[in-house]
Structure 1
């Protein structure tokens, strides 16, 4: 902060969050800070002269009585104006607070403020680039400050003052060269936010500091030095694997973990298997939730793995993948008499290209939004060793094309500047070379197998969350054509009159380097294709609607099998026309590219040519997918169409299954010398035969480790006497009404959070509509998948709300995590059988029928049991945890196959059949 300068950190609460809609102030707070010290605070409620709605009162905690006795703004306007004169105005989202305050001044005849204004949101986005959330409470919470009363102006202003101090500290720790670059680009920031950076730069120039030891300057960029951990081959003590229980207990105690007998047995099993030179079988291990599965395979692995004989661990989720590398293995290394290095296996598309970024950085104007992105990256470069763009939210929050253009895979933005060993893909390759344990995720691993580039991987493979592997293999063997991606490329080509498009940039080269007719021809093809693609997509959607396969009112991802013999001739004709037009575009575009690449061009012109080449490469790739999906006739292939029903034209995609690719991947799996497949849900009827057949593994052995939790005391499972299946046969509305009524009865008397698991998005949305109208549930937060948001968003909302009822399908059966001990009730509305109409399900069932197997017995039933076990695994995560399951599907106890589900329950958990009213009372008493 500037010496002796007074900073006014302001927060305002109002009747609404809109500018220019005559909203009124209800609270004003200001914290005055000088030389990093708070010197004064001012806080007052403000009478808005109108009624404030309940939502705002609940959000802010400000009552009608508080406002009724508060001064009017016109009575305190002059005091506030005087308070803020000669200060620098600071707010978290200054665009609202500063402008709103000036509107209030204008309304009462006071002169607007003309002082500098600084936005802590933008500064935080730049200086803390890896934060998940920039909401004030989340942000200061991650920096060590507890904001107990968010949306109270005084508490928010105090939290923002804390944040300003942290931002100032962060600026002073940056390398001088980074701070200079930030200052040069700061014109892109809101109001005078850049002044804060400039003041820090002036202070640093007066009192320069030495460069940190872990920072290196390369081509004017301050980078964190590559961090390669060499393995310690010199042991601090005995290196032999600790077979004895006492020895393991000592190690686990050093790790801060308690003894788990099943875990110790699993460790020995894994070690013995990995020590075999060439086992003739794959090892399946089912370990119940809470049994310590991850350390169960990781602990023996570090004793066996080496740089020469690497072990590949693969998980289903990237979250677990990163936890293993960043938390589990470092924990083992800190306690064992040696350490093993691990490396993440990720596609090069995850990593930033320093060369591509350098080009963008040198060309960007300080007034562009891309300047702000460059500022964020300049700070991140001083912190990241991996350069993985997911660290700063690319792909989830950051969607601008800028982020695609700086990826290592992006061909059109190379640079003459070479960063050699500092490049992040080079760093990744070095880490992989030095590591003993490579940690991947199933999607990446199988994608590499699909390309048959399995040379990266060793002969030892451990697949965690292995019940997903058959599905991921089928997905990896499926080629997808995304219509939106082609439209995006065509729009990027643009026209000669559309600014920021490639054709507009090439128009400037027309007279000296290319002929006018070349551009005109390319532009004509692009325009025709854009129009034709839009019509083609609309025709597909219309055809799906008219054939009765889609209900657009239901918000969900739709996936349907596609039979081309039933498709209209109009669509078939347009499909052939698009194929021909794509070929013409590529022919003309490549001719133009050849002409330009053989011409002497300046840097700006070279950039345009590189963008043309990159876009043509993407179109060529999509054209190949288009040909494969629509025109290549292959045996054993299944084609499907997928889209999101709320935005079908923007999400339409086509998939084609390739049986040969699946067989190739299964062969690669079998080539591994050691294969361990582990999960909390693998067995059906005590056997892994289903998984073994799905992966075509001829020889396999299995071990099943039951939960160590006392389900008899910790859990209750109920099945109502009322029959929901009869209600489901009457149609959607009667069935949804039945479910809503029973859910209400089960949860309205308990304060505990509840997860309701469905198999149909259509049913979820109808039940949600009914539950939100129930008077007895007014005090509960009801969240529904794709109505309240995505699964990730709902998970975040759940953590903030009280007495939540979450309605979900798909990933909510296992993928979405809730805080431990926060979830107490799980209601399963229907046993989780797959829909036989799904394209890949149809494909599997045809294969089974062809070889004489029963699809229900060999596919639908075992898959439903595995998913059911995942639903059961949502509860009881600690020895003291308690939970209740209610299964609203009497097939669980009445069907001919009921024993298969009953046998899958944890030991000690028995089914209790009672009327719903009694179940509700038992839930309340038990919890």
Structure 2
């Protein structure tokens, strides 16, 4: 069959079962991969078109009043679809509506083969930024003149399908052969198309010079590129002048370049720190251009001194920016040749060996796992890194990826045929030969706390987004355990009869009770799984019954309970301790049997590596749980720990998460990091409170006499670009008027939205308050005027919510926690920032509560030493969301009057750039905001 009909429908709603009807159909006919015809028509649905649909599509009741009903065109539509594949972007939706209409009119349903361009795009373009039709049309520069109209959407889908066919025609034989083994799990009837292409390749002399094949797998593997690095002759000052000065290389490469004195000052400070072997804290205001400012001295020093410099970031977003934008720019403007590379932890890299084994051992995969395997098959023919962060896997796909990451290889023998095809080993080889190694705080901390075994040797490091470093170090020195992970591990191992890891050994080596106690394994595993169930349910009920004063709410609405080992008593707590002890014993018994199996495999076949590695991986999992239970319930370890439990009241009664982290990492960092390294430079836009670095120095364990501190002011004219408004008439939340406060906030948001046409980011400190405000706004806002997006309510990741916000002309985005920083929305997309409350952590938050207690014992003020500095730094992060360029402008509306009338309010206002601030009634502030925007619009 070589005929394809692409369809798209516009409907009165999403469910034919609720009597929603088709109001427009668009059809595009493709033959021989060429568009040969199009058809479109309105239908009269015999019911009013909802306002939301009219707003989305532009189709009104007047447009369809004289249109035919579906029955009049049904036969024509069926004849056009005869002997054709049906293609649609989410084909089940369109086909479901067509079949519902046909059935209602007494006609047979369609039985055509179908192709879903959402599914096929996910498989064939695994690194695309998203899979909505609009996102894919932008990605491929497809003309999309009239989104949400049937013929326009069908036409773009047809052009996308041509891209799909073109991509299939570029795939190697081995990739298509492996895909065919999975195709039965998919919506798309792709088998005939793949078989036809496989036949063509069987008799083709085409080859893929960039593709390598091994054991039935095709993949892309770049050779490690080693450039000759020369000695540096110029002085550092001359080097900077040739780049930064007017008429220098930056101005030659960047047409809009304007010299920023702070940028060169920052470069010079970092170089001074490196050469004088001192540590440095540098706060660089927004717009400084800090990435370039620290990369230039890093490159110069690394090449001149033939020493590696590490650059560590908190987010993958910044890593991508450094590699894709900043490093290429430095190559262009610098006469110094250098090598820069990215190195992450082993769990980020795919193991081709493990993936090959999973493909070979075909089982009954669910849809997400089959989709993940197909996506990875395509991706490995394209990737140069093997870093899974390049791909958007389905949710369950990340669980599958844990089985095939390089982390599961344990140690890979250089004599193994797979060694030369290891992406992780390739990344390590690149790192060994590079001058600049970009990594993340997670790997930097892992390296630090494991005797510096993961990163190549270094003496100088630049830590960007440094305000996160202490927290990241605490997480790495602590632990996290949960019900799902433990049960997942047990289910992965399985009983001796199951087609799981342990059962595979039983089959492969003909194990029996004569040499391995299989009955004991099965019984112990069963007991362990039941004990996990009972333990986490017991913890759930224990926390639920504790007095509310001992509980806090996390950012996602979980109840948090801090454990105090001296105070946890009573029968219920003893039951939890007994269960933990029993579970540890069960895990120890399972480890003992695993070692017996490993010994048997070694005796039978010493060259068998994969099964032995899997066994040792299971042993490591179980030992980690044993150690975690010991630390959580029975000891503090070498360092005093803060321990807490989180439960999700909306989840199952075993939705429990156990956490532990050091009460103070300053001493750890001082001894194991700052004393070990010659120069550590830490930079961020938010390192000071009230112009002082003292709080950050204490947190990090940096002594002031050996540390350079520098504040680089932002080049932006904040006094002209920003106005701050603080209302004096909001209900005082201190007296329990939370609902009144939320209503006042919602009213202010709506009033401001009228002035700024939405384009508003609202920052909350509490998920509970965000949720309340969201539903108040939903009830009171003009229907469909604004796109309201709420974190934790609207589905999607932070990046997805931000993209949705930017794609609507009039949108309001409500966020908490993660939205206070790292979200860049430059230009006209964001005109107003609402900060609902000053971002103090709740005093009963487990970590805050524990650290406060320690400070009190030391006769220090927990509010001034901990709560206030943390809140100020987070406030500065939130404030920084508004202005991202010299042309941005907007208002900051702070609903919390404490910023003006509390004694400590000045710490917030004096820690941000100076901006005009207005303290007045809400109505007067709204009037002033409107006047200010009108005045700016007139300029």
- TM-score, normalisation: structure 1: 0.91
Q: What corresponds to 1:437 in structure 2?
A: 436
In structure 2, the CA distance between the partners of 1:483 and 1:882, relative to structure 1 (3 Å rule), is same
1:461 aligns with 2:446: no
Counterparts of 1:381 and 1:97, CA distance in 2: 32
In structure 2, the CA distance between the partners of 1:191 and 1:265, relative to structure 1 (3 Å rule), is closer
Deviations 1:797-834 (A, max 9, x none): 31233322222221221133335431111122222223
- Segments of 5+ residues of structure 1 without an aligned counterpart are none
Counterparts of 1:761 and 1:375, CA distance in 2: 37
**Aligned positions of 1:538-617 closer than 5 A:** 538-549=537-548, 556-564=557-565, 565-588=567-590, 590-591=592-593, 594-595=596-597, 597-598=599-600, 614-617=617-620
Displacement, 1:39? Answer: 1.0
Displacement, 1:720? Answer: 1.9
Deviations 1:155-195 (A, max 9, x none): 11101111111112212222334334434543443352222
In structure 2, the CA distance between the partners of 1:143 and 1:367, relative to structure 1 (3 Å rule), is same
Deviations 1:852-907 (A, max 9, x none): 33222222222222222112211122222111112222222222233322322314
Deviates more, 1:486-495 or 1:826-835: 486-495
Counterparts of 1:917 and 1:715, CA distance in 2: 19
In structure 2, the CA distance between the partners of 1:463 and 1:77, relative to structure 1 (3 Å rule), is same
Q: What corresponds to 2:937 in structure 1?
A: none
Deviations 1:722-757 (A, max 9, x none): 255x34323432332333344344434441422222
Q: Secondary structure at the match of 2:517?
A: helix
Q: What corresponds to 2:212 in structure 1?
A: 216
Q: Secondary structure at the match of 1:665?
A: helix
Contact 1:480 1:654 in 2 (8 A): yes
Displacement, 1:320? Answer: 0.2
Q: What corresponds to 1:424 in structure 2?
A: 423
Deviations 1:194-218 (A, max 9, x none): 2222333344445542323x22233
In structure 2, the CA distance between the partners of 1:722 and 1:109, relative to structure 1 (3 Å rule), is closer
Counterparts of 2:903 and 2:478, CA distance in 1: 35
Contact 1:243 1:268 in 2 (8 A): no
Q: Secondary structure at the match of 2:37?
A: strand
Counterparts of 2:710 and 2:188, CA distance in 1: 64
- Out of 823, 828, 836, which is 1:821 matched to? 828
Counterparts of 1:402 and 1:756, CA distance in 2: 36
1:621 aligns with 2:624: yes
Q: Secondary structure at the match of 1:805?
A: strand
Q: Secondary structure at the match of 1:653?
A: strand
Contact 1:118 1:196 in 2 (8 A): no
Counterparts of 2:235 and 2:34, CA distance in 1: 54
Counterparts of 1:106 and 1:193, CA distance in 2: 27
Displacement, 1:913? Answer: 1.8
Q: CA RMSD in A?
A: 3.3
Q: What corresponds to 2:672 in structure 1?
A: 668
Deviations 1:362-393 (A, max 9, x none): 22269875554433222212111111122223
**Aligned positions of 1:69-218 closer than 5 A:** 69-183=66-180, 185-205=182-202, 207-212=204-209, 214-218=210-214
Counterparts of 2:765 and 2:650, CA distance in 1: 19
Displacement, 1:459? Answer: 0.8
Counterparts of 2:442 and 2:57, CA distance in 1: 44
In structure 2, the CA distance between the partners of 1:146 and 1:557, relative to structure 1 (3 Å rule), is farther
1:225 aligns with 2:228: no
Displacement, 1:293? Answer: 1.2
Counterparts of 2:422 and 2:349, CA distance in 1: 9
Q: What corresponds to 1:787 in structure 2?
A: 793
Q: What corresponds to 2:928 in structure 1?
A: 922
Contact 2:726 2:920 in 1 (8 A): yes
In structure 2, the CA distance between the partners of 1:68 and 1:596, relative to structure 1 (3 Å rule), is same
Displacement, 1:234? Answer: 4.9
Displacement, 1:436? Answer: 0.5
Displacement, 1:583? Answer: 1.6
Contact 1:641 1:652 in 2 (8 A): yes
Q: What corresponds to 1:356 in structure 2?
A: 354
Q: Secondary structure at the match of 2:384?
A: coil
Q: What corresponds to 1:870 in structure 2?
A: 877
Q: What corresponds to 2:936 in structure 1?
A: none
Counterparts of 1:53 and 1:752, CA distance in 2: 23
Deviations 1:533-563 (A, max 9, x none): 3233223222322224359999514433112
Q: Secondary structure at the match of 2:779?
A: coil
Deviations 1:580-614 (A, max 9, x none): 233234325532651475168899x9988876664
Counterparts of 1:553 and 1:836, CA distance in 2: 12
Q: What corresponds to 2:726 in structure 1?
A: 719
Contact 1:463 1:677 in 2 (8 A): yes
In structure 2, the CA distance between the partners of 1:219 and 1:501, relative to structure 1 (3 Å rule), is closer
Displacement, 1:324? Answer: 0.8
Counterparts of 2:722 and 2:366, CA distance in 1: 58
**Aligned positions of 1:332-347 closer than 5 A:** 332-347=330-345
- Out of 680, 686, 691, which is 2:691 matched to? 686
Deviations 1:201-254 (A, max 9, x none): 344445542323x22233333222324232342589968653565652322123
In structure 2, the CA distance between the partners of 1:33 and 1:238, relative to structure 1 (3 Å rule), is farther
Counterparts of 1:511 and 1:424, CA distance in 2: 34
Displacement, 1:639? Answer: 1.4
- Segments of 5+ residues of structure 2 without an aligned counterpart are 934-939
Counterparts of 1:237 and 1:510, CA distance in 2: 64
In structure 2, the CA distance between the partners of 1:414 and 1:140, relative to structure 1 (3 Å rule), is farther
Contact 1:26 1:48 in 2 (8 A): yes
- Out of 644, 647, 651, which is 1:647 matched to? 651
Q: How many residues matched?
A: 916
Contact 1:514 1:595 in 2 (8 A): no
**Aligned positions of 1:667-816 closer than 5 A:** 667-670=671-674, 671-698=676-703, 699-722=706-729, 724=731, 726-775=732-781, 779-789=785-795, 791-816=798-823
Deviates more, 1:568-577 or 1:377-386: 568-577
Counterparts of 2:113 and 2:148, CA distance in 1: 24
In structure 2, the CA distance between the partners of 1:680 and 1:320, relative to structure 1 (3 Å rule), is same
Displacement, 1:462? Answer: 0.8
Displacement, 1:40? Answer: 0.6
- Out of 36, 47, 53, which is 1:39 matched to? 36
Deviations 1:421-453 (A, max 9, x none): 221111011110111111122222112212232
Counterparts of 1:602 and 1:324, CA distance in 2: 47
In structure 2, the CA distance between the partners of 1:366 and 1:412, relative to structure 1 (3 Å rule), is farther
Displacement, 1:407? Answer: 0.9
Q: Secondary structure at the match of 2:146?
A: coil
Counterparts of 1:126 and 1:654, CA distance in 2: 36
Contact 1:720 1:888 in 2 (8 A): yes
Contact 1:11 1:30 in 2 (8 A): yes
Counterparts of 2:756 and 2:228, CA distance in 1: 55
Deviations 1:30-89 (A, max 9, x none): 111223321110111222333443333433332222233221222111111111223232
Counterparts of 1:467 and 1:516, CA distance in 2: 56
- TM-score, normalisation: structure 2: 0.90
Contact 1:479 1:658 in 2 (8 A): no
Contact 1:754 1:824 in 2 (8 A): yes
Q: What corresponds to 2:894 in structure 1?
A: 887
Displacement, 1:461? Answer: 1.1
1:905 aligns with 2:902: no
Displacement, 1:356? Answer: 0.6
- Out of 315, 319, 326, which is 1:317 matched to? 315
In structure 2, the CA distance between the partners of 1:581 and 1:904, relative to structure 1 (3 Å rule), is closer
Q: What corresponds to 1:472 in structure 2?
A: 472
Contact 1:413 1:607 in 2 (8 A): no
Q: What corresponds to 2:838 in structure 1?
A: 831
Contact 1:891 1:898 in 2 (8 A): yes
